[in-house]
Amino acid sequence: MNTEIRCQLCDELLPKSKDAQRNHERDHHIDSVYVGESRISILRTNGNFTCPSCGVEMKATRAFGVHLKRHGLIMATSKKRGQLYLGDAEGNSKHDVTDGDSMLNHSPSPTLALEISTNSRKIKKPPTCTETVLLASDSLMSSSQAQQDKLMLAQLGRWMPIIYRCKEKDHGFLTSISTASTMLQDNPPVGEWLFPDPDTPSNQLSIQTNEDTLIRRIKSASKAAKILSTTNHVELTEAECKILNQDWLEYPQLRYCCSQLLAGCIMTQDEVSILVNTIEPYARDSLIDAHFERRSTSSPSSFPTTPGRYGFLTVCLLPTNDGQKLVIGTRTSNFLVTSSIRLDRQSVNIGPATTHFRPTTSTKIFLDCLSIELAKSLLDNTKINRAQSLPSLYQLKQVRSKFDCLSTYTMCRSSSTMASPLKLQPTTIWTLVDQDSNHTTMSQEKVGSLLFRTIALQVIRHGRSATLHLDDFKPIQALSKDSSAVASILHNICSLFDNQKEIKIIGNSALNSQLVDLANGISNKKENDKKIEDIIMELYD
């Protein structure tokens, strides 16, 4: 009796049983699986599935499912929930379908929406009496005690607050009642005199200022008032904070949308305010971001444990080896500020460290209305793969490790409209070679940057299957000086080819080890110092 049968797809001999045939088909002839609650699609490439968490390649589908379980991930052969779940190495059919899942009525994730604020289109109301006194004494952003002192002096002197509005800017003045009446009857050649709006009962009991009045004052009194006069800002809302807290696994477009939403925002703390020029997003999930924030008890965290002014969002400084990092943290992601300017005085920070702003739990965030509109357009596109209309390499994050991980090459860095010109963009290992230079020969640091540029473009074009070709590598190696550290590293990379014409980039730990050393030897400080000078010239009045 014939106890074997040939597979009709690959002609392999199999035991003549339904279970053997079914298990063989599952292990070797399923071309795609779906991983995680959000059903991320993973395709079989060169006969193998690649683990999205650690990069291990496995041929058998069921063994791959078992491996994923060790990462806390479930796997299915169908994108529909309640369909065949894999991961049982024994192949027992009673475990093929999760009974509980088949009994659940699944509710799909709701569609996200951003509301465009109409504040910028409304007729601006005059400040209240309290706000006008604070405007007149330049105390709108002072401490509560200082504001109380100013209000008490105005009350003791029986001063009348009035407003002079000129070119959409409100200026507060204190004068006598009779002088105020005379001035309000006069028509100045430019602008107009106005009475403040009356205080509400809550204003009379405590000092409360309208946030629209506050941000207008910050911008008009800033050292960058001219360029900020072309922008509109509104305070972050709870609804927008909820979007910042949504899971990237459910909504992959948020990697790009949320950084765009925060680009160009203004953060204020007491009398200090900054404009965020460039910001980088990082997921908290290690599966989708190799540079996720570490969770050890000894590491500082930006994770918000309790709701704050806007919800689950915190603004904090995290101490690192690179200095104090200014981070906006939500429960699903965090955002690193990599370029900012002070508005109350001239000061520019470029790079991972921020030294000119110290946030607290009372820090306020005002979003750029144009950034809200741009983020809204990204929110509806689940296939989006870049945050902004800028050259690809200028949207990669400032990282120096994990070059064997796909998330390193996501184009998710966002910049404000004011800082979008390339000459104002922070220099990174990806873009150093692109910077203007008077030298006729390429520096060794730029040679290293040229290799990073070549690798990044390969991954951007080809994703997980990207390779570094020997024909592309050799001309770069030829630019290195024999005695330089760059030449030594490039020699080590060359040996990885081992008579091959190309080597893999993603999942190649040996290549990554050399690239980390190369990145650590590339300094951007000189170029970023030039950027600081350019930003001062371009953005400040």
DSSP structure string for 321-344? TTEEEEEEE-SSEEEEEEEEEESS
Q: CA-to-CA distance for 414 and 113, rounded, in angstroms?
A: 20
Alpha helices, DSSP H, located in 6-126: 18-28, 61-70, 99-103
User: Does 510 score more than 70 pLDDT?
Assistant: yes
Question: What residues form DSSP beta bridges with 114?
Answer: none
Q: In Å, how far from its chain's centre is CA 151?
A: 41
Whether the Cβ atoms of residue 290 and residue 303 lie closer than 8 Å to each other: no
Q: Is the pTM of this model over 0.85?
A: no
**DSSP reduced 3-state for 164:** strand
Whether the Cβ atoms of residue 255 and residue 291 lie closer than 8 Å to each other: no
Query: Which has more confidence, 327 or 39?
Result: 327
Rounded mean pLDDT of 360-375?
A: 96
Confidence of residue 33 (pLDDT cuts 50, 70, 90): confident
Measured in degrees and rounded to the nearest 5, phi and psi for residue 378 equal: -80, -30
Length of the chain as a residue count: 541
Query: Which has more confidence, 93 or 524?
Result: 524
Q: What is the CA radius of gyration of the chain?
A: 29
SS3 content of the chain, % helix, strand, coil (to 5): 35, 20, 45
Q: pLDDT (tens digit, 9 = 90+) per residue, 298-355? A: 889 999 999 999 999 999 999 998 899 999 999 999 999 999 999 999 999 999 999 9
Least confident of 48-52, 85-89, 449-453: 85-89
DSSP assignment, residue 154?
A: H
Q: pLDDT (tens digit, 9 = 90+) per residue, 259-311? A: 999 999 999 998 999 999 999 999 999 999 999 998 887 889 999 999 999 99
Q: pLDDT (tens digit, 9 = 90+) per residue, 396-421? A: 999 999 999 999 999 999 999 999 99
Quote the pLDDT of residue 91. 38
Q: What is the separation, in whole angstroms, between the first and last Cα of the chain?
A: 93
Measured in degrees and rounded to the nearest 5, phi and psi for residue 510 equal: -65, -45
User: Does 209 score more than 80 pLDDT?
Assistant: no
* Residue ranges covered by each domain of the chain: 4-103, 126-209, 233-422, 432-523
Closest CA to 386 of 524, 281, 264: 281
Rounded mean pLDDT of 499-512?
A: 97
Q: What is the mean pLDDT of the chain?
A: 86
**DSSP reduced 3-state for 464:** helix
Question: pLDDT above 90 covers what percent of the chain?
Answer: 55
Whether the Cβ atoms of residue 245 and residue 332 lie closer than 8 Å to each other: yes
Question: What residues form DSSP beta bridges with 15?
Answer: 4
CA angle 409, 412, 415 (to 5 degrees): 130
Alpha-carbon distance values, 387 to 262, 375, 380, 391 (Å): 12, 9, 13, 11
Alpha-carbon distance values, 108 to 38, 111, 173, 250, 283 (Å): 10, 9, 56, 10, 22
Closest CA to 39 of 72, 75, 84: 75
Q: CA-to-CA distance for 493 and 497, rounded, in angstroms?
A: 7
